[in-house]
Amino acid sequence: MMSFAPLWRTMKEKEITTYKLLNVYGFSHGTYDSLKQNRNVTLHTINQLCKILHCKVEDVVEYVEDNE
């Protein structure tokens, strides 16, 4: 499964708060909720996050082996 754990670390390092993500950069609450719940998001969303954070994809999302 995909995990957005790297996103939260990168946001903290870059001092981008949830408030900024939602109100300055225009992320919807639904998209933010999907990120928090490790649900599917579009590549467009990943691209936006990389632009905002000036980072690589691996600084936003990582693959974690699913034990099912």
The partner residues of 2 in beta bridges, in order of sequence, read 63
Q: Residue 63, SS3?
A: strand
pLDDT digits (tens, 9 = 90+) for 33-42: 999 999 999 9
Q: What is the CATH number of domain 2-63?
A: 1.10.260
pLDDT in tens, 11-50: 999 999 999 999 999 999 999 999 999 999 999 999 999 9
- Residue 68: per-residue pLDDT: 65
Triad 27, 57, 17: Cα angle to 5°: 40
